[in-house]
Every structure is written in C-alpha cells, then in structure tokens.
Amino acid sequence: MIDTATTRTAPVRTATRREYLMCPPDHFDVVYAINPWMDPAMPVDRGRATRQWAELRDAYRGLGHVVHLAEPVPGLVDMVFAANCALVVDSLVYGARFRHPERAPEAVAYRSWFAAAGLTGNRDAEYVNEGEGDFAVLRDFVLAGTGFRTEPEAHGEAQEFLGRPVVSLHLTDPRFYHLDTALFVLDEENLAYYPPAFSPGSRAVLARLFPEALIATRADALALGLNSVSDGANVVVAAAATELIAQLAANGYRPIPVDLCELARAGGGAKCCTLEIRR
C-alpha cells in the first residue's frame, strides 16, 4: 500500500526580495505592562536582546533582503517593535496611532524615517491602530485584527486609504493581543494561524478563506511561532516552535530558526521587530 502522507512531494516555493525596516533595541526594557507577557519586576538583559536582534537582522540580509534601520529614541523601550509603527502598501504609509500613551511617541519618531525614505503618501490615522501588528497583507486583501489594540474603525479607515479590501478578525485571548502573534502570511495566498486566538466567527472566516492553512499548536503559538516572517519560501521563525518548523519544512518552506527569547519578555518576536516596506 502506498503511504500518500510520506510520498507526497511538497510544492516548490518562490522567495521574493523584501525591504524591511527595523530599529535596534538600544533602549529596550520592560518598565510597564501592556500585555500579559510583560513583567516589569523581571530584569531585562539588553546585551542579550541586542545580540538576538542582530542575528535576526543578519538572517534577513543573508537572504538578500534590504534592511533599513530607524534611529532608536531614548525612553521608547518598545521602539524595537517596528511592525507596530505603520502599515506600508503600494508606497502608502498608514501611520500608527498607539493604544497606550507609553508608545504614542513612537509613531512620531518613525514618521520622520518615512519622510526621509521618500514615502510621502502618508495618512495620520484617526483611529487607534498598531500597524502591521494588527494588519496582514495578502494578494487580494488585507486581514485586520481587533479586540485588544486596533479599533475596528481603523479597518475601514485603512481600506479607504489603501484601496484594498480589509477583512476584520476578532482576537479573544489576551496572550495573542496583536494579529501578528496569532497568524502570519506564508505567501501571497496562504498563511499559518492558531484558531483558539480568534472568535468563533473569525475562525469560520479563516477556515473559509484559507482551507490549506497551516494550523499551529498552542505550544508553538505560545513560543511566538506565529510571529514569523516569510519571503514566500524562507520563513524566519522562533526556534522553540518545533512542530511548526517541521510543518513548514514538510510543506516546502525553508525554516530559519531564530531565538529572540529576550525580546519575548515584552511580548514580541521576529515579526514584531520587522516592518515590511512595500513600494
């Protein structure tokens, strides 16, 4: 008898060169708690965070991607999480408006980088939204999270500004407070996600839109395995997300494990540290 599970060959995946914006964790710290991962009583090893972050940056460069760096600002301890500062599509910058006052100045700091980079199609958001933390871009539409940070009204605002359909999803588990902690885009039309992070209706929407999606285990989701960055073929993924890594490999992707455990103390992983610039 032929075992189809083992003889099936995985499809060939194609990488495309990406442009990313990152911010070195020079001032990284945990001094307030705005998500359940953060405990200000636990000291942070900034040297270790910096080494882990540098490994991530070098992994992107090693894959041939362009990595730009934003200037870290003293006192903005979460500024390393560049994904939250905007959503950039078709050279249009939908700027963040942070939920918590502690992070609000980050939006201003990043705005000057966009201007210097020639991205002048800017919109200062009227509604609270945390950029790519809560928006995921696919070919035909954009997925948007709400429940903890981004307001649902921001989904409509982004759709109107970007001219791309936006599909709203409801996050229900505080551990998965941003969409990018519960879901990541593998390629133009497929993704990986953790269903229990979503409301029943949103789960049904995801199942309908993505019947081929990779489904992560709770352990891998808690290892921030879904806070991954894919270029269509190579997937930079938390090293501790072992089952997800095996699933990726079995589906023709090339997992690139990175350990960002020191940054995880603020509730962020690889994707949080990475904003994609789509020109």
Which are the catalytic amino acids? 178, 272
Closer residue to ligand ARG (CB): 84 or 230:
84
Instruction: Using only the alpha carbons of the chain, give its radius of gyration.
Output: 18
The CB-of-81 to ligand ARG minimum distance in angstroms stands at 4
| Full DSSP string of 9-69 | PPPPP-----EEEE---TT----S-SSTT--TTSPP-HHHHHHHHHHHHHHHHHTT-EEEE
- Please identify which residue in 35, 50, 172, 190 interacts with ligand ARG, judged by CB under 6 A: 35
Closer residue to ligand ARG (CB): 25 or 255:
25
The CB-of-200 to ligand ARG minimum distance in angstroms stands at 23
**Phi and psi at residue 249, in whole multiples of 5°?**
-60, -40
The CB-of-38 to ligand ARG minimum distance in angstroms stands at 6
Closer residue to ligand ARG (CB): 13 or 275:
275
The CB-of-132 to ligand ARG minimum distance in angstroms stands at 7
Quote the longest CA-to-CA distance of the chain: 64
- What CA–CA distance (Å, rounded) separates 92 from 122? 6
The CB-of-233 to ligand ARG minimum distance in angstroms stands at 23
The CB-of-171 to ligand ARG minimum distance in angstroms stands at 11
Closer residue to ligand ARG (CB): 18 or 103:
103
Closer residue to ligand ARG (CB): 130 or 187:
130
3-class SS at 129? strand
- What CA–CA distance (Å, rounded) separates 120 from 139? 23
- What CA–CA distance (Å, rounded) separates 212 from 196? 17
Amino acid at 20: Y
Task: Return the residues of window 216-275 that contact ligand ARG according to CB under 6 A.
Answer: 266-268, 272
* Whole-number Cα distances in Å, 277 to 68, 90, 108, 206, 257: 10, 9, 17, 25, 23
- Please identify which residue in 25, 133, 145, 147 interacts with ligand ARG, judged by CB under 6 A: 133
| Location of structure tokens 């871009």 | 137
- Please identify which residue in 52, 129, 181, 228 interacts with ligand ARG, judged by CB under 6 A: 181
Task: Return the residues of window 38-97 that contact ligand ARG according to CB under 6 A.
Answer: 38, 78, 81, 83-84
Beta bridge partners of 257: 237
- Please count the residues of this chain forming the interface with ligand ARG, following the rule CB under 6 A: 16
Closer residue to ligand ARG (CB): 183 or 186:
183
Q: Is 3 exposed, middle or buried, given 0-12, 13-18 or 19+ CB atoms closer than 10 A?
A: exposed
Residues forming the site for ligand ARG (CB under 6 A): 34-35, 38, 78, 81, 83-84, 103, 133, 178, 180-181, 266-268, 272
